Structure 1
Amino acid sequence: MTLAPDAVPAQPSDLPGWTHTYSGKVRDLFAPDASPAGRALVAEHGDVVLVVASDRVSAYDHVLSPGIPDKGVVLTQLSLWWFDQLADLVPNHVVSTDVPEAVAGRAMICRRLEMFPVECVARGYLTGSGLAEYQADGQVTGIPLPDGLVDGSRLPEPIFTPATKAALGDHDENVPFAVVADQIGADAAATLRELTLAVYARAEAIARDRGVILADTKLEFGTDPVTGAVTLGDEVLTPDSSRFWAADAWQPGRSQPSFDKQYVRDWLTSDASGWDRASDVPPPALPADVVERTRDRYLDAFERLTGRHLF
């Protein structure tokens, strides 16, 4: 992964009680510091981390410039909404949204989990890397599928297609269920599969009622060190971790318009950008209209799914 020179803003300077520990493509993590405020956070919440969603946007292993305004707020607020919808199915890692004013709306205080090294993917429709596997041998992670499926086809039933978690900048690798079972144990693997499909079923039904198709989603789970329970972590069911399509525009046999950064990908690979993806040259800055349209798609996803306006 490469970073555009101005793609990563300076860390917020006024986060009392917290110290910055990590920056990913989109999120920054902060741990309680040794100050009285930091000690108070640990006393109240235990071993926690402040998860801050930035407005950074990445594509093809590059973090781009500029970011997408309010993207981090959409990701955080939509995740919080989904955590509420799923609370009876699986516990989650959020312990508080009482965060410093500098990151209000885009941050949450979360219990630190012992994460499973698995990307838990549920697919209800065939597209992306799943489509590529199917076209090669009629299977996805070893699961045979019917003949005649095309890009965007609805599957007979949702499937669990896990992936190994890659190092930052590398691509996750789809693997058969047996590989996950060997890696983390059969019982744990079965639990992750059951929870992933249960979350997908709940979310797919909620989205469908709102005129949105949830094609697939990626989840991450860990073990709560206090309770020992398998717990849902990271973000959940956002346009960055899921494919959402407008139901009234769904048309199998072609690429579906999606509520995410597709405008960014399309522009980068168009002649208009002048960028050669195969080169070592970083992508150019995003035009204002691409930024605006991408922001609109993120906000549209939030509003359609939750039924409320963010701003």
Structure 2
Amino acid sequence: MPATLHTSHIKSLPLLHNGKVRDIYDIDENYMLIVTTDRISAFDVIMPTPVTGKGIILNDVTQFWMNKLSHIIPNQMCDTKLEDVLPDAAERAEVTNHAMVVKKLKALPVEAIVRGYIIGSGWKDYQATGAVCGIELPKGMQLADKLPKPIYTPSTKASVGAHDENIDYSQSRDLLGADIAEQVRDVSLQLYQA
């Protein structure tokens, strides 16, 4: 069984960010190293007890879907190997199977969420307003009901310690500009359908 990785300790690369689950290191102007830890985040809160192996599984799932869906939209995956950026065997051993080298891309200030079922924060919104992110839904829906069709429900992308907030499409347009907001919505729905 692998050792639990709560926080990575790479000294040979500058730390860019400790997220809720991922630690991100700078490699150069084109690449960065993302380490998926065993930390658990639920409802934007980092839980005190990590789950051994969770980071490895999440890392594998991320790589699987990025490879499988790259025909819909290019992503940040690259061919650079971990040993190319972490030549020190001890540093590499700590994060092996938890880490991937990726291209640096500019993150968008929204999280692109597609819902096929009414649950989570969408359920809370629906109970209060009958809508999710401004999208009116049928009356009388129950928790976890399937939606008539998938809906795009963006949110803000909160920093550590803050909570993501659901926003409507027009607010995402204000944040991203009309062209990018439309592309993000359309690609998100395509990815969900795939």
State the TM-score, normalizing by the size of structure 1. Answer: 0.55
The structure 2 residue matched to 1:65, chosen from 31, 42, 48, is 48
- Shift in Å at residue 58 of structure 1? 2.8
Task: Name the aligned partner's letter for residue 170 of structure 2.
Answer: A
Alpha-carbon spacing, 1:80–1:97, altered in 2? closer, same or farther (3 Å): farther
For residues 9-60 of structure 1, give each alpha carbon's deviation from its aligned partner in whole angstroms, at most 9, with x where no partner exists: 45145x5xx333321121111112xxxxxxxxx5xxx511000011112335
Alpha-carbon spacing, 1:24–1:134, altered in 2? closer, same or farther (3 Å): same
For residues 107-148 of structure 1, give each alpha carbon's deviation from its aligned partner in whole angstroms, at most 9, with x where no partner exists: 111111112101111000001111111111211111111112
Q: In the aligned structure 2, how far is the partner of 1:86 from the partner of 1:10?
A: 29
Which structure 2 residues correspond to residues 72-111 of structure 1 after superposition, within 5 A?
72-96=55-79, 98-100=81-83, 101-102=92-93, 103-111=95-103
Residues 1:157 and 2:149 are matched in the alignment: yes
Matched with 1:11 is 9
For residues 249-302 of structure 1, give each alpha carbon's deviation from its aligned partner in whole angstroms, at most 9, with x where no partner exists: xxxxxxxxxxxxxxxxxxxxxxxxxxxxxxxxxxxxxxxxxxxxxxxxxxxxxx
Residues 1:23 and 2:15 are matched in the alignment: no
Residues 1:132 and 2:124 are matched in the alignment: yes
Matched with 2:87 is none
- Work out whether residues 96 and 108 of structure 1, in 8 Å CA contact, stay in contact via their aligned partners in 2: no
Matched residue of 1:190: which SS? helix
Task: Name the aligned partner's letter for residue 74 of structure 1.
Answer: I
Alpha-carbon spacing, 1:66–1:139, altered in 2? closer, same or farther (3 Å): closer
Structure having the higher Rg? 1
Q: In the aligned structure 2, how far is the partner of 1:83 from the partner of 1:23?
A: 22
For residues 61-105 of structure 1, give each alpha carbon's deviation from its aligned partner in whole angstroms, at most 9, with x where no partner exists: 543333111111111111111112101101110113611432221
Matched with 2:190 is 198
Matched with 1:52 is 35
Q: In the aligned structure 2, how far is the partner of 1:148 from the partner of 1:68?
A: 38
- Shift in Å at residue 8 of structure 1? 4.5
Matched with 1:148 is 140
Matched residue of 1:75: which SS? helix
Matched with 1:174 is 166
- Shift in Å at residue 175 of structure 1? 0.9
Alignment identity in percent? 36
Matched residue of 2:49: which SS? coil
Q: What RMSD, in angstroms, separates the aligned Cα atoms of the two structures?
A: 1.9
Task: Name the aligned partner's letter for residue 110 of structure 1.
Answer: V
Which structure 2 residues correspond to residues 215-254 of structure 1 after superposition, within 5 A?
none
Aligned residues: 181
Q: In the aligned structure 1, how far is the partner of 2:80 from the partner of 2:56?
A: 12
List alignment gaps of at least 5 residues for structure 1: 1-6, 33-41, 203-311
List alignment gaps of at least 5 residues for structure 2: 84-91
